[in-house]
């Protein structure tokens, strides 16, 4: 008699326990990017930046409010320490925020979804036009590479993923062109307007002015771009 009563009861109890357990992995309360990175280890620089800029709080709030989700590229401490020394200190507060925002895609992306994204991708830093904050992704199967025009990085690992937030380890700090595009060294205050080193006006205006020979125009254009790129690389090296 007792046994017959107990069996259904314990079954119900058992079911109750398993459903409770199944829900357990989701941390109580809203998703917390800092806690995720702390748990993963080797992200202390990123955590410090997220805290100093308050972007960590912002990400948490966004996760709580948006249904698009977020994707975060997390450079390791090694990635930060392999930057040229003084790189972070040379940034203004706003640039630090932009640098971090450049590591955040305003939607949830699984690894396989990267294959269908078109370049350049829009990050939370905004404007993905060339020279601003473009971020390109190339994939081969589950391998994902990222190019910013300054650095080429690889997605090394999935740190965290749920249906709303994906956090991927990247082996390099993603340096955006807008901040790290090398500029002319300390131009005299009166001159910059005359010899603007900004590559954007160079392109279109040249194409239209040499319309007599489109091919030559393109070659010249390519040469100018290449020159700019070489100078850029030169100044990046100089900065070290």
Ligand X SMILES: *[C@@H]1O[C@H](CO)[C@@H](O)[C@H](O)[C@H]1NC(C)=O
Binding site for ligand X (CB under 6 A): 30, 32, 34-35, 38, 60-61, 64, 119-120, 134, 136, 138-140, 143, 145, 147, 149, 151-152, 154
Tokens of 189: 């205050």
Burial class (CB in 10 A: 0-12, 13-18, 19+), 111: middle
Looking at residue 74, the DSSP 8-state letter turns out to be: E
Residue whose CB is less far from ligand X, 141 or 189? 141
Residue whose CB is less far from ligand X, 60 or 98? 60
Nearest distance from residue 111's CB to ligand X, in Å?
A: 12
Sign of CA dihedral 194, 196, 201, 207: positive
Which whole-number Å values give the CA distances from 157 to 40, 113, 116, 169, in the listed order? 11, 15, 19, 5
Residue whose CB is less far from ligand X, 154 or 164? 154
Question: 106: closest CA among 166, 56, 53?
Answer: 166
Question: If DSSP codes are grouped into helix, strand and coil, which group holds residue 97?
Answer: helix
Nearest distance from residue 186's CB to ligand X, in Å?
A: 24
Nearest distance from residue 181's CB to ligand X, in Å?
A: 11
DSSP run (H or E) holding 16: helix 2-23
Nearest distance from residue 13's CB to ligand X, in Å?
A: 33
Nearest distance from residue 120's CB to ligand X, in Å?
A: 5
Residue whose CB is less far from ligand X, 52 or 213? 52
Residue whose CB is less far from ligand X, 166 or 175? 175
């Amino acid at each position: 008699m007792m046994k017959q009563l107990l069996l259904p009861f314990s079954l119900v109890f058992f079911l109750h326990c398993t459903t409770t357990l199944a829900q357990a992995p989701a941390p109580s309360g809203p998703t917390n990017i800092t806690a995720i990175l702390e748990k993963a280890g080797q992200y202390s620089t990123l955590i410090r930046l997220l805290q100093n800029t308050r972007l960590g709080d912002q990400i948490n709030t966004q996760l709580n409010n948006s249904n698009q989700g977020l994707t975060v590229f997390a450079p390791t401490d090694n990635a930060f320490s392999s930057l040229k020394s003084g790189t972070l200190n040379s940034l203004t507060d706003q640039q630090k925020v932009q640098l971090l925002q450049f590591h955040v895609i305003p939607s949830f992306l699984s690894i396989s979804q990267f294959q269908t994204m078109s370049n350049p991708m829009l990050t939370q830093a905004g404007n993905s036009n060339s020279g601003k904050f473009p971020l390109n992704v190339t994939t081969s199967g589950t391998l994902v590479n990222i190019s910013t025009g300054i650095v080429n990085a690889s997605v090394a690992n999935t740190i965290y993923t749920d249906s709303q937030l994906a956090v991927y380890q990247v082996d390099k700090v993603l340096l955006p062109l807008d901040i790290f595009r090398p500029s002319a060294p300390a131009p005299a205050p009166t001159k910059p307007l005359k010899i603007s080193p900004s590559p954007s006006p160079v392109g279109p205006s040249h194409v239209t002015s040499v319309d007599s020979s489109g091919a030559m125009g393109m070659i010249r254009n390519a040469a100018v771009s290449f020159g700019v790129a070489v100078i850029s690389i030169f100044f990046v090296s100089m900065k070290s």
